[in-house]
Structure 1
């Protein structure tokens, strides 16, 4: 047991990053609106996450570099290098800004259930106070560099919430045969395509690929550690996927058709906790929100540093400037009156659309002998990666076409 704890790597952190308020919200919406019909999308998401995150971890261990740093160094043409750097930076900045707004909004949903919805008027614009409180807390933790201590506490709270959903899923006495059937047989219900992409986007988080590579190189530096990294990744992601599916199963038992706030989401927990469900969920949502609100800006700072050749020192001014920018955008977007549920849904869809871009870069890097030597992708790993890439591209195109009413 002692060795097991000693060898725990970035896997749980990656899982904690994708089990944020976005996951709780999107999985609840999927269960409320479509029942068990989209469970297959979560199975696909978990499989895709394991395949891609294993590649990211292997890259970090063997190359001892982050993904963005490798992209900058391996693209030899100055024009292509500049284009690639701009593309990756844009993707992560846009994705993480949207994701950060979702993180702050999710945490705010939890606190507002307990504290109400205080607002202030600034230049005739009504601003919600709670997102600014969360943003200030995340800023202090990041600036002082002591976020790791609180992160352990918050991950513990998220685990408690996860156990609650697992228990609730069992207590709803679900139809096991129907669950297995919907896990294996894909369905595309009317108006379900955006939710499918959101489920993939909330699980296969693009910035986690960059974060995993950076964290893996600090945790492990020996080629023999690849086996440990694989076990760490598979265990953490599978458990995260089970939690997500439990939320969908729990939400399928809710007898309402519209989810607009944390009180509605709490209905999924009422079979287990009764009227106190909203308080338990509020703590969980706050924990999930603040944990992810810390992780997303950090990942963006690592990406920017790698792309632009900066130091990845947490105390450097450039590093801090990036995470302050992302955190600030998240706070502003979540406080100016946009519906929290809509921000969270948009964040997950944005991530789903950005995934093919980042996954394409990762697959290219993983086939570079100059970077990985004999540890580059095998034909089977490339086959799995290409299948995932094609599926994400097709889903992304379908979303774009549906947005413009072309299908």
Structure 2
């Protein structure tokens, strides 16, 4: 009996240690499960019904694939991706990658600041662009003194409550299973709007910022090549399972509740409508609280990502303890102040931001594939055929969706 108790204790300890070791990909998943993804999949579900469900499911699969490759590159190289590109391809390509990632990252920060200010106005009843200055100072202070973690924890709890409500909603409304099955079959109706929505959905999952950021996350945990298996599990659970459930649940809720009545998502209050079967009159308030938390918990890692990229290229210490790193974060805060001054709905701007971010993604996916197929670099940890197949598919799909988005927006192609 004692032996069984000891065995159970060892198993529980091993399981606890295993879950404590995981984490880098969950940071990426938390950023991916942000307001921009929520907006893009809600707008798509409301407008197209279940028709784009295949894009949502595919985005979760490709997110898992590309983030696992990013983890492998970070682990094998022992450095961030920009330093590795400089070692392998030289200074020019490192600058190109850094600028590519930086533009996408600061664009995201500006749009997220607009969303944060607008949501704060809805919550408080005080709509003013001056909220951006308050948040810029607050975030810079929290990052500088290391107090952001507890704020982030509170925000994640609020977001989890909202996601839980979406899950309960889907279980209650009993969506059309035959419609969902048809939505898993790839279809293209054409037009610039569909091109934008597809690029936005995919951009929320495989955005250049979070891909590059992940190479730094695994190094922050000091993972070595013995941890590649752990990285696979970490990424699978966080990106394919958790992010997949998040995306599919919100999409299905919008498709089932809004689409049949022709309700389009134009405001944050429209985003909350699918929750009314569960929350009733409290739907707007609870959703806005969760949405505000999602924006706040997403924008800060965006500022930090810009710091990672510049510090890596300039060979500074990649830490908020470095004054130069803090200066980059401060610069990002200043740039994001432009966001609330831009005209237009912040929901549509969030989708456009993801679509534009997708345009920079093929470069980083190509770099990951190139490095992980170099025998002299990856050695025995080179990609297997299945990872190359899925990685190649990721490169092809992201390129096609990005090119299609650009051509339709410029009027060169009707879609």
The correspondence of residues 187-202 of structure 1 with structure 2, limited to 5 A, is: 187-188=188-189, 190=191, 191-202=193-204
2:354 and 2:96 map into 1 onto residues whose CA distance is 19
1:16 and 1:186 map into 2 onto residues whose CA distance is 29
Cα 1:258/1:182, change in 2 over 3 Å: closer
- Of 298, 308, 313, 1:307 maps to 313
User: Does residue 162 of the first structure (1) align with residue 158 of the second (2)?
Assistant: no
- Of 346, 361, 386, 1:380 maps to 386
User: Does residue 203 of the first structure (1) align with residue 205 of the second (2)?
Assistant: yes
Give CA deviations for 1:158-202 in whole Å, capped at 9, x if unaligned: 222211111112222201222133124344454311100000001
The correspondence of residues 233-312 of structure 1 with structure 2, limited to 5 A, is: 233-237=235-239, 238-252=241-255, 253-254=257-258, 255-312=261-318
Cα 1:256/1:275, change in 2 over 3 Å: farther
**Given the two structures, how large is their TM-score scaled by the length of structure 1?**
0.91
Cα 1:327/1:92, change in 2 over 3 Å: farther
2:203 and 2:105 map into 1 onto residues whose CA distance is 12
1:104 is matched with 113
1:379 Cα deviation (Å)?
Answer: 3.4
RMSD: 1.9
2:220 is matched with 218
Determine if contact 1:91/1:354 at 8 Å carries over to the other structure.
Answer: yes
Determine if contact 2:166/2:250 at 8 Å carries over to the other structure.
Answer: yes
1:402 and 1:94 map into 2 onto residues whose CA distance is 22
2:249 and 2:42 map into 1 onto residues whose CA distance is 10
Mean CA deviation greater in 295-304 or 211-220:
211-220
- Name stretches of at least 5 consecutive residues in structure 1 with no aligned partner: 120-127
Cα 1:390/1:70, change in 2 over 3 Å: same
CA radius of gyration, larger in = 2
Give CA deviations for 1:52-105 in whole Å, capped at 9, x if unaligned: 1001111222221111110111114xxxx32x1232122112211221123223
1:398 is matched with 404
User: Does residue 53 of the first structure (1) align with residue 63 of the second (2)?
Assistant: no
Q: Alignment length, in residue pairs?
A: 394
**Given the two structures, how large is their TM-score scaled by the length of structure 2?**
0.90
